[in-house]
Amino acid sequence: MPRTKEQFEEMRNATRDKIRSAAMQLFVHQGFGSTNVQDIADTAGISIGLLYRHYRTKDQLLKELVAYAVEGLKRNVLFFESDQSPKQLISHFVNEVYTDLLNGEELANLLILINQALFASAGTDSNSNQHDEILQVNARLLDATARLIRKGQQLGEFRLGDPHEMAVYFYASIQGLAEMKILLKSNFTMPSPSVLTAFLIKEME
């Protein structure tokens, strides 16, 4: 029985997911420059010809991965700008980060990859639009988080302190944990959500 159009689309998407996952893993673990398309095809378990049917160049693949990460950052900005309780928003976000870092490498790889893309394109004309977009979205996320922290402080949910400094510390902690997870592998221990938010959320009195 011939496959339907929907089945072909499912297969196509599954192959693209394999390619993106393999590329992200390789770019993070051995570097973009040291990874070739044959490495990606082998890790994805497909032929190099099939890879080229989906991505013409390694640069195109990297650009798509970074764009995917940027979209995730944009969703976080919108999430933190919602009308929910600041404590609830931060707790929900931290629980998701905890689960993702505890159970897999995708989030860690994405966070590292987006930093690699920033450093690689700094001071060059290569992917300058994407470089600027990453910086702008990061700035928006920091501002949105600082505003959320300030609101939480006003409501008595969060500890006092400079909201922007606390937002920077918050994301620096998550980025550091992502890098430690990749470096330490099975020796990595993920701190609990309560540890991650101890500097911010007031204890119940």
Q: What is the pLDDT of residue 8?
A: 78
**Confidence class of residue 205 from pLDDT cuts 50, 70 and 90?**
very low
CA 146 vs CA 78, 122, 141, 160, 186: distances in Å: 14, 26, 8, 12, 34
Question: Encoding tokens for residue 74?
Answer: 């944009």
CATH tag, 63-205: 1.10.357.10
Question: Encoding tokens for residue 28?
Answer: 């993070």
User: Which one-letter DSSP state was computed for residue 189?
Assistant: -
Mean pLDDT of 176-201: 96
Residue among 165, 153, 141 nearest 70 (CA):
141
Query: Is domain 1-56 given the CATH code 1.20.140.10 in the classification?
Result: no
65 in Cβ contact with 59 (< 8 Å): no
Mean pLDDT of 156-182: 97
Q: What is the pLDDT of residue 129?
A: 85
87-138: per-residue pLDDT in tens?
999 999 999 999 999 999 999 999 999 998 888 766 555 567 888 999 999 9
Q: What is the pLDDT of residue 86?
A: 97
The whole-angstrom separation of Cα 139 and Cα 66 is 16
The whole-angstrom separation of Cα 36 and Cα 145 is 38
Q: What is the pLDDT of residue 203?
A: 78
Question: Encoding tokens for residue 102?
Answer: 């505890």
CA 95, distance to chain mean position in Å, is: 15
Domain-by-domain residue ranges, the chain? Answer: 1-56, 63-205
User: Sign of torsion, CA 123 127 128 132?
Assistant: negative
Q: What is the pLDDT of residue 125?
A: 58
User: Which one-letter DSSP state was computed for residue 82?
Assistant: S
Q: Number of helices (H) and strands (E) in the chain: give both, helices first.
A: 9, 0
Q: Is 155 helix (H, G, I), strand (E, B) or coil?
A: coil
Question: Encoding tokens for residue 3?
Answer: 């496959």
Mean pLDDT score across all residues of the chain: 92
Query: The pTM is what?
Result: 0.88
Q: Look at residue 189 and tell me whether its pLDDT is greater than 80.
A: yes
